[in-house]
Structure 1
């Protein structure tokens, strides 16, 4: 049995949707700065986005590990517990970092069909947008408090992602 990350890489429909509008690219694993977790736990970059942000697995294990997202502006948050949950967020609410559904749907009227096709290709149950965003907030403000990303060169912690305080993100 292969990994879910391998399935994303191998399935063109899913990879295309996750690349855009999901802005998730497994080929971009290196973060713009040297970082570490304050706890000393392992940190493994496994994907990135077009703006220099990085998705990291935290701790030891496989794709079930907590996922931390760090942008290129010095902000970070735990966004999912495991790759399955992260992909659910990216499929259900690719605009989670800003903007909104209406903006994306205006530019991409076929987004729901593409999203559903990508989820089916990966064998994932698709949460609703509200469920995905509620879970994002729950993870970031609950277990996420234990995952503090530190800029190694300055020994300064990253700031929380501003999206977690935005209207519409209720926990």
Structure 2
């Protein structure tokens, strides 16, 4: 089975959708700061966003590892368990970083802003998902899962700014 990272690299339309509106690019895996997990588990930056944020695989293994997102302002959260789950989130709710309550109503309000600029968003999203072989959750399912992961298992994935020994602030709180 081919990896999802390979699939993203091979499908230009999927990569373009993930780059915008998903704000996810595989060529941006270097984090600007020296960081580590408080647990001592491995941390591997593999993608990033245009604002200096980084996506990290946590622990050992392949694309099924937990994925932690760290922004450039000192905030971090576990956002998915595995790359498949992350890509589904980015396809369904690429505006997740702007959500505060993670409700469908809030997400739909944010989606309306994107739809105003990109009326074919749903068609482009569906084409990207098909190219990557992903079945998409509903918006409510994706947001509920993000919240569940961040507030549940995410408590075990504390990102630390290595030079000062200070933990990043949680991006998602109860």
TM-score (norm 2): 0.92
Instruction: Give the secondary-structure state (helix, strand or coil) at the position aligned to 1:97.
Output: helix
Q: Give ranges in structure 1 of 5+ residues lacking alignment.
A: 167-171
Deviations 1:55-110 (A, max 9, x none): 00000000000000000000000000000000000000000001611111111111
Give the corresponding residue for 2:6. Answer: 6
Relative distance call for 1:165 and 1:104 in structure 2 (3 A) is farther
Give the corresponding residue for 2:91. Answer: 91
Deviations 1:113-166 (A, max 9, x none): 0000000000000111111111000000000000000000110000011xx359
Whether 2:120 is the aligned partner of 1:110: answer yes
Give the corresponding residue for 1:119. Answer: 129
Q: CA RMSD in A?
A: 1.1
Give the corresponding residue for 1:158. Answer: 168
Instruction: Give the secondary-structure state (helix, strand or coil) at the position aligned to 1:64.
Output: coil
Aligned-residue offset at 1:2: 2.1
Deviations 1:28-51 (A, max 9, x none): 110010000000000000000000
Distance in 1 of aligned mates of 2:140 and 2:95: 12
Give the corresponding residue for 1:141. Answer: 151
Give the corresponding residue for 1:47. Answer: 47
Instruction: Give the secondary-structure state (helix, strand or coil) at the position aligned to 2:73.
Output: coil
Distance in 1 of aligned mates of 2:44 and 2:58: 7
Distance in 1 of aligned mates of 2:9 and 2:29: 13
Distance in 2 of aligned mates of 1:142 and 1:49: 24
Relative distance call for 1:88 and 1:72 in structure 2 (3 A) is same
Whether 2:25 is the aligned partner of 1:31: answer no
After TM superposition, the structure 1 = structure 2 runs for residues 67-82 of structure 1, keeping only pairs within 5 Å, are 67-82=67-82
